[in-house]
Structure 1
């Protein structure tokens, strides 16, 4: 089984309704295809931008097809893979797509992720100085 963890920036902020629709479609499709994972969304008032961090896992061929759809989705950009690999056990076995709309206070104790909208986040990401992405998501799980 394969997993991918990535961050991206929303092209435009997502409303609660848009997030609900995204989750309903994702959960239905993921359940049918054997995909599990977790999606976090963070909106920044300061920059009027939304950011995603997501972990997805499942059979290689199915996950590769999902990754192609995610990569081509025009609702977000600046897609950066944080972690990718193979595993025998699922990290999120009970969630077709767990979700949390994250506030800044939820991230205060997580150095590097507290200010995803800042330039330092992206500089640290390029320098590979980020906290372990999978462990971050497992913490929310």
Structure 2
């Protein structure tokens, strides 16, 4: 995998489900071995915010905010935000990050960037 973290931007409509699947490859193009790894997807109010809990925090345990699906065979991690989570984001841009082994000595931020959300007027 190249220089980390990889930069990626995304957007959603507040109040809708959002999902993205990330595939991880080694520098030689082979699938990265992610078996036994723990992942966390977070959205924070700003880049300096380190409060616990994060504005949005996803793990493989499903909550009202959403969940992660880790497939070690395909070397993928899918993040799914619930409509409740995206509605709470309202309109704006906040930083997000996908972490591997968060809180451990070898924690790695794999992907980070801006997460845009907007409200859509109702009829």
TM-score calculated relative to the size of structure 2: 0.28
More helix by share: 1
Query: What is the TM-score normalised by the length of structure 1?
Result: 0.25
User: Which structure has greater strand proportion?
Assistant: 2
